[in-house]
Amino acid sequence: MKRNLLVALCLVFLAGCVTTKGYEKYALGNRLKSNILRIDMTKNEVLAHFGDKKYGKLMNPYKVETYSPSDNSLIVVFFYYTHNSDKIPSDVFFKFSHDVNVTDDDLTPVIFKDGKVIGWGHSFYEAQKLAKEWKSKQ
The domain of 65 spans: 2-136
| C-alpha closest to that of 126 among 107, 100, 99 | 107
Render pLDDT for 5-49 as a digit per residue (tens, 0 to 9): 454 444 444 444 444 567 788 889 999 999 999 999 999 999 999
pTM of the model: 0.74
Number of domains observed in the structure of the chain: 1
**Bigger pLDDT: 65 or 10?**
65
